[in-house]
Amino acid sequence: MKFEEIEQIEEQYQVETYAKMNIAVETGRGAWVWTSEGEKYLDLYGGHAVCATGHSHPHVVRAIQEQAEKVLFYSNLVYSEIRAKAAEKLVAIAPESITKAFFCNSGTEANENAMRMARFATGREKIISFTGGFHGRSADSISATFLGKYRDLGKPNVPGHVCAEFGNLDSVRELADDQTAAILLEPIQSMAGVTEAPPEFFKGLREICDAHGIVLIFDEVQTGVGRTGNWFFSGSEFAGGVEADIITLAKSLGSGVPVGACLVNDKVSRNIKTNDLGTTFGGGMLAMAATVATLEAIEKDRMRENIAAVESHLRERLKEVEEVVAVHGKGGLIGIEFADNCKPVHQKLLDRRIITGTSSNPKILRLLPPLSVKKEEIDLLIDALNERGAG
Ligand SMILES: Cc1ncc(COP(=O)(O)O)c(C=O)c1O
C-alpha cells in the first residue's frame, strides 16, 4: 500500500492518539527503519524508546519464533520454564536488595501495581511524586503525573497524591510523614526534557524514606534495561548507590513485545499474598521469551558498554554544533538543548530521514536510540545538524 492510502485509512478508522510523523514504517533492522515508500530512516528515537536491542534483533526474533511454535500463552495459573528464567535473570542483574519480579504489560500498569504494593506494605495511602514527572495514563499513574496537562486528562484523580519539586529535598521533607506510602519518581525525567538530579538527591530521598517507613519507587520505564549504560539507575553511581524498594520497567524490556515489570525487595514482597495482585497477560510465554532474549542480546552484544562509548562520542561531536547550548542525560537517554525552540530542528532532521524525539521542553530534542547504535550513525546526526553530506 502507498503511504497516502495507509494514512487515509488510519485517520478514518483509528481514534486519535499522538501527532504522527508522515511516514508508515514497514521493516526495521538495528537503528534503521524502512517505509512504505522504500525510504530508509535512521531511528534515533528507537521506536519510542522501546527498541533498545535495535529493530528486530535476530536473537530476539528467533526466540519469539521458537516460543510461538511451542505455546503462545498460558497465564500465572501455571508454572512456566521461560517465565522462571525471565524472573531469575531480572533478579540476577538487579541491585542486590531486589529479590522478586512481578510481570505485567506496560509502564503505566507497572506503576499502578508498584503504588498498590507500597500501600499493602505500609497500610497507608499518600503518594509523593514530582513536578515534571510522567508515569502513564491509567488512573493512579496519571494522578501521580504532574507534568503539563496530563493529570487533568485523568480527572477525577485518585485521592492521596501530592507533588514535591524534583531535585528539592526540602519540598519532599515538607510532605513526607507517617501517612506516606511511597515516593515515586523518574530518576531522570525523560518527557520533561531529560531533567537530572545529583546523587545527593537520591541519598536524601532514601534517608527520608527510611526515617518514615516510606517505600521508594523508581520509575525506570525509560532508564531501566541498560539505557544509561547500567542495567538500572537504581543502585548505580548516578543514584549515589541508592537502591529503590521497587523498580518499574516496560518499554525496552521486551524489545517491542509488550512487557512491564515491578522488581521488588523482600520488604515489599512479604506483604503480598495470593490473589492480591494479578493480570491475565502478565508473564505470558511469548512476552517472557522476548524478555529473556532482550536481556541476552544486550549482554551478548555488549550494548551497555557500547552505549556508554557512544554517549562520549556524541557529547564530543555535539561541541561542533553551534546551536547546541547543553547536553543532558546518560547513555542512550539524551536531551540536546538548543538556544531556541527545537521543533524546526526536529523537522529538518526528519526531512533528512533521521528520527528524533521532542519533549515537553520546547528547547530540548530527545534521543533514545537503540543501545546498539554505532558511532558512525551518530556522525550522520552531526552532519545533518550541521547540514553537511547528502540531504
Ligand atoms: C517514565 C515513564 N513511565 C511510565 C510510562 C508509561 O508507559 P506505558 O506507555 O507503557 O504505559 C512512560 C511512557 O512513556 C514513561 O516514559
Measure 221 CA to ligand 1 centroid, in angstroms: 6
Do 227 and 293 have their domain in common? yes
Do 367 and 269 have their domain in common? no
What was the pLDDT predicted at 140? 98
Indicate whether residue 107 lines ligand 1 (CB < 6 A): yes
Query: Is position 68 within any domain?
Result: yes
Query: Is position 228 within any domain?
Result: yes
Domain boundary among 265, 300, 335: 300
Average pLDDT of the chain is: 97
Query: Is position 320 within any domain?
Result: yes
Q: For a substitution probing ligand 1, which of 104, 184, 195, 222 has the most ligand atoms within 8 Å of its CB?
A: 222
Do 24 and 94 have their domain in common? no
**How far, in Å, CA of 245 to CA of 247, rounded?**
7
How many domains is the chain built from? Answer: 2
Q: Where are the alpha helices (DSSP H) in the chain?
A: 3-13, 46-49, 58-70, 81-93, 107-122, 139-143, 150-153, 169-175, 199-212, 266-269, 285-300, 303-318, 343-351, 375-385
Do 274 and 317 have their domain in common? no
Query: Is position 116 within any domain?
Result: yes
Do 138 and 271 have their domain in common? yes
Structural domain of 264: 59-300
Helix (H, G, I), strand (E, B) or coil at 149: coil
Residue nearest to atom 13 of ligand 1 (CA): 136
Indicate whether residue 190 lines ligand 1 (CB < 6 A): yes
Do 102 and 149 have their domain in common? yes
Measure 122 CA to ligand 1 centroid, in angstroms: 25
- What letter would DSSP give residue 195? B
What was the pLDDT predicted at 258? 98
CATH of the domain at 326: 3.90.1150.10
Range 125-139 average pLDDT: 98
The answer to whether the beta carbons of residues 327 and 193 sit under 8 Å apart is no
Here the cell at position 176 is 513526607
Query: Is position 237 within any domain?
Result: yes
For the entire predicted model, the pTM comes to: 0.98
Do 279 and 314 have their domain in common? no
Nearest 5°: the CA angle 322, 325, 328 is 130
pLDDT per position as a tens digit, 309-340: 999 999 999 999 999 999 999 999 999 999 99
Do 286 and 331 have their domain in common? no
End-to-end CA distance of the chain: 26
Indicate whether residue 269 lines ligand 1 (CB < 6 A): no
CATH of the domain at 75: 3.40.640.10
Domain boundary among 242, 271, 300: 300
Do 268 and 244 have their domain in common? yes
Do 12 and 96 have their domain in common? no
Do 228 and 122 have their domain in common? yes
pLDDT at 391 over 80: no
Atom in ligand 1 nearest the alpha carbon of residue 223: 1
Query: Is position 390 within any domain?
Result: no
Atom in ligand 1 nearest the alpha carbon of residue 108: 11
The answer to whether the beta carbons of residues 33 and 41 sit under 8 Å apart is yes
Do 138 and 260 have their domain in common? yes
The answer to whether the beta carbons of residues 210 and 203 sit under 8 Å apart is no
**How far, in Å, CA of 191 to CA of 146, rounded?**
11
Indicate whether residue 195 lines ligand 1 (CB < 6 A): no
Nearest 5°: the CA angle 17, 361, 35 is 45
Atom in ligand 1 nearest the alpha carbon of residue 48: 14
Domain boundary among 271, 300, 329: 300
**How far, in Å, CA of 145 to CA of 152, rounded?**
9
pLDDT per position as a tens digit, 221-251: 999 999 999 999 999 999 999 999 999 999 9
Q: For a substitution probing ligand 1, which of 108, 185, 358 has the most ligand atoms within 8 Å of its CB?
A: 108
Encode 160-202 in three state secondary structure: CEEEECCCCHHHHHHHCCCCEEEEEECCCECCCCCECCCHHHH
Measure 275 CA to ligand 1 centroid, in angstroms: 25
pLDDT per position as a tens digit, 99-122: 999 999 999 999 999 999 999 999
Here the cell at position 292 is 529473556
**How far, in Å, CA of 320 to CA of 348, rounded?**
18
Q: For a substitution probing ligand 1, which of 17, 106, 134, 255 has the most ligand atoms within 8 Å of its CB?
A: 134
Residues in the chain: 391
Query: Is position 391 within any domain?
Result: no
Q: Residue 286, exposed/middle/buried by CB under 10 A (0-12, 13-18, 19+)?
A: buried
Range 80-104 average pLDDT: 98
Indicate whether residue 136 lines ligand 1 (CB < 6 A): yes
Indicate whether residue 134 lines ligand 1 (CB < 6 A): yes
Instruction: Please report, as a single letter, which amino acid is at residue 8.
Output: Q
What was the pLDDT predicted at 388? 72
Indicate whether residue 250 lines ligand 1 (CB < 6 A): yes
- What letter would DSSP give residue 330? E
Query: Is position 286 within any domain?
Result: yes
Atom in ligand 1 nearest the alpha carbon of residue 251: 10
Here the cell at position 93 is 542483574
